[in-house]
Structure 1
Amino acid sequence: MNTPFQGFPETAERIVYVRPVAVADLPDDIREQVGEAETVYSVHAPDGQQLALVADRKLAFHLARSHDYAPVSVH
Protein backbone atom coordinates (compact mmCIF):
# COMPACT_ATOMS: atom_id res chain seq x y z
CA MET A 1 0.00 0.00 0.00
CA ASN A 2 1.47 3.31 -1.01
CA THR A 3 -0.58 6.02 0.67
CA PRO A 4 0.97 9.48 0.95
CA PHE A 5 1.22 10.88 4.47
CA GLN A 6 -0.91 13.99 4.78
CA GLY A 7 0.78 15.26 7.94
CA PHE A 8 -0.76 16.32 11.22
CA PRO A 9 -3.33 19.07 11.66
CA GLU A 10 -1.71 22.47 12.00
CA THR A 11 -3.72 23.73 14.97
CA ALA A 12 -5.17 22.47 18.22
CA GLU A 13 -8.62 23.08 16.71
CA ARG A 14 -8.19 19.88 14.71
CA ILE A 15 -7.78 17.70 17.82
CA VAL A 16 -10.67 15.64 19.16
CA TYR A 17 -10.80 13.56 22.31
CA VAL A 18 -12.07 9.98 22.41
CA ARG A 19 -13.26 8.53 25.69
CA PRO A 20 -15.16 5.45 26.81
CA VAL A 21 -18.68 5.94 28.16
CA ALA A 22 -20.56 3.40 30.24
CA VAL A 23 -23.89 2.65 28.56
CA ALA A 24 -25.50 2.63 32.01
CA ASP A 25 -24.67 6.36 32.29
CA LEU A 26 -26.51 7.27 29.07
CA PRO A 27 -30.12 8.52 28.85
CA ASP A 28 -32.79 5.83 28.42
CA ASP A 29 -33.53 6.66 24.78
CA ILE A 30 -29.86 6.30 23.84
CA ARG A 31 -29.45 3.07 25.85
CA GLU A 32 -32.31 1.52 23.87
CA GLN A 33 -30.43 2.18 20.62
CA VAL A 34 -27.10 0.77 21.84
CA GLY A 35 -28.19 -2.82 22.24
CA GLU A 36 -26.11 -5.17 24.38
CA ALA A 37 -22.87 -3.16 24.57
CA GLU A 38 -21.68 -2.09 28.01
CA THR A 39 -19.33 0.63 26.73
CA VAL A 40 -19.48 3.03 23.79
CA TYR A 41 -17.07 5.81 22.80
CA SER A 42 -17.69 9.51 22.54
CA VAL A 43 -15.76 11.96 20.39
CA HIS A 44 -15.42 15.47 21.85
CA ALA A 45 -14.17 18.82 20.56
CA PRO A 46 -11.51 20.64 22.66
CA ASP A 47 -14.28 22.79 24.19
CA GLY A 48 -16.02 19.63 25.49
CA GLN A 49 -18.83 19.53 22.94
CA GLN A 50 -19.79 15.96 22.09
CA LEU A 51 -19.47 15.43 18.36
CA ALA A 52 -20.29 11.73 18.07
CA LEU A 53 -21.14 8.60 20.01
CA VAL A 54 -20.00 5.35 18.38
CA ALA A 55 -19.89 1.64 19.10
CA ASP A 56 -16.15 1.12 19.53
CA ARG A 57 -12.81 2.88 19.91
CA LYS A 58 -11.49 1.88 16.50
CA LEU A 59 -14.56 3.39 14.83
CA ALA A 60 -14.18 6.61 16.86
CA PHE A 61 -10.59 7.03 15.67
CA HIS A 62 -11.53 6.20 12.08
CA LEU A 63 -14.39 8.69 12.16
CA ALA A 64 -12.13 11.45 13.50
CA ARG A 65 -9.38 10.81 10.96
CA SER A 66 -11.80 10.64 8.06
CA HIS A 67 -12.89 14.17 8.98
CA ASP A 68 -9.28 15.41 9.20
CA TYR A 69 -9.13 15.47 12.99
CA ALA A 70 -6.33 14.14 15.16
CA PRO A 71 -7.91 11.84 17.79
CA VAL A 72 -6.45 11.58 21.28
CA SER A 73 -7.51 9.06 23.94
CA VAL A 74 -8.84 10.33 27.23
CA HIS A 75 -9.09 7.86 30.11
Structure 2
Amino acid sequence: MEDNITHDGDMFKLIPINYSYWKPMMEDQVYCKDLHVPIIYKDKVEGKSDAQWELLNRKAIAMIRKYIDKSLFDHVSTYTIN
Protein backbone atom coordinates (compact mmCIF):
# COMPACT_ATOMS: atom_id res chain seq x y z
CA MET A 1 0.00 0.00 0.00
CA GLU A 2 0.94 3.60 -0.36
CA ASP A 3 2.99 5.34 2.32
CA ASN A 4 0.55 8.26 2.48
CA ILE A 5 -2.31 6.17 3.86
CA THR A 6 -3.38 7.13 7.37
CA HIS A 7 -3.41 4.13 9.72
CA ASP A 8 -5.20 3.73 13.02
CA GLY A 9 -3.76 0.57 14.49
CA ASP A 10 -4.57 -2.12 11.94
CA MET A 11 -7.13 -0.09 9.98
CA PHE A 12 -6.61 2.70 7.45
CA LYS A 13 -8.78 5.43 6.02
CA LEU A 14 -10.63 5.10 2.74
CA ILE A 15 -9.10 7.20 -0.02
CA PRO A 16 -9.95 7.22 -3.72
CA ILE A 17 -7.40 4.51 -4.58
CA ASN A 18 -7.83 1.87 -1.86
CA TYR A 19 -11.50 0.84 -1.77
CA SER A 20 -10.77 -2.76 -2.76
CA TYR A 21 -8.55 -3.14 0.34
CA TRP A 22 -10.60 -0.94 2.65
CA LYS A 23 -14.01 -2.58 2.14
CA PRO A 24 -13.23 -6.12 3.37
CA MET A 25 -11.17 -4.76 6.23
CA MET A 26 -14.00 -2.43 7.26
CA GLU A 27 -16.42 -5.36 7.16
CA ASP A 28 -14.08 -7.21 9.52
CA GLN A 29 -13.97 -4.19 11.83
CA VAL A 30 -17.74 -3.90 12.16
CA TYR A 31 -18.13 -7.64 12.74
CA CYS A 32 -15.37 -7.70 15.37
CA LYS A 33 -17.03 -4.79 17.20
CA ASP A 34 -20.50 -6.43 16.93
CA LEU A 35 -21.79 -3.51 14.87
CA HIS A 36 -22.84 -5.55 11.83
CA VAL A 37 -26.50 -6.08 12.75
CA PRO A 38 -27.79 -2.74 11.36
CA ILE A 39 -25.85 -3.38 8.18
CA ILE A 40 -27.20 -6.85 7.45
CA TYR A 41 -30.78 -6.30 8.69
CA LYS A 42 -32.74 -3.46 7.14
CA ASP A 43 -35.41 -3.40 9.84
CA LYS A 44 -35.05 -3.36 13.60
CA VAL A 45 -34.37 -6.83 14.95
CA GLU A 46 -36.61 -8.48 17.48
CA GLY A 47 -35.63 -7.88 21.09
CA LYS A 48 -34.25 -4.37 20.52
CA SER A 49 -36.11 -1.24 21.53
CA ASP A 50 -36.22 1.70 19.14
CA ALA A 51 -33.62 3.49 21.27
CA GLN A 52 -31.30 0.46 21.31
CA TRP A 53 -31.65 0.03 17.55
CA GLU A 54 -30.93 3.72 16.91
CA LEU A 55 -27.85 3.59 19.16
CA LEU A 56 -26.49 0.48 17.44
CA ASN A 57 -27.13 2.07 14.04
CA ARG A 58 -25.30 5.28 15.06
CA LYS A 59 -22.34 3.28 16.42
CA ALA A 60 -22.03 1.40 13.13
CA ILE A 61 -22.18 4.64 11.15
CA ALA A 62 -19.59 6.25 13.43
CA MET A 63 -17.24 3.29 13.05
CA ILE A 64 -17.41 3.50 9.26
CA ARG A 65 -17.10 7.30 9.11
CA LYS A 66 -14.05 7.17 11.37
CA TYR A 67 -12.17 5.44 8.57
CA ILE A 68 -13.13 7.70 5.67
CA ASP A 69 -10.62 10.31 4.60
CA LYS A 70 -11.81 13.90 4.87
CA SER A 71 -11.42 14.30 1.10
CA LEU A 72 -14.28 11.79 0.65
CA PHE A 73 -16.31 12.52 3.75
CA ASP A 74 -18.64 15.08 2.13
CA HIS A 75 -19.68 12.44 -0.41
CA VAL A 76 -20.87 9.99 2.23
CA SER A 77 -21.71 12.08 5.29
CA THR A 78 -25.47 12.02 4.67
CA TYR A 79 -25.77 8.25 4.15
CA THR A 80 -27.38 6.12 6.81
CA ILE A 81 -27.43 2.38 7.25
CA ASN A 82 -31.16 1.89 7.57
Same fold per superposition (TM over 0.5): no
Q: Normalising to structure 2: TM-score of the pair? A: 0.28
**Structure with the larger helix share:** 2
Q: Normalising to structure 1: TM-score of the pair? A: 0.30
**Structure with the larger strand share:** 1
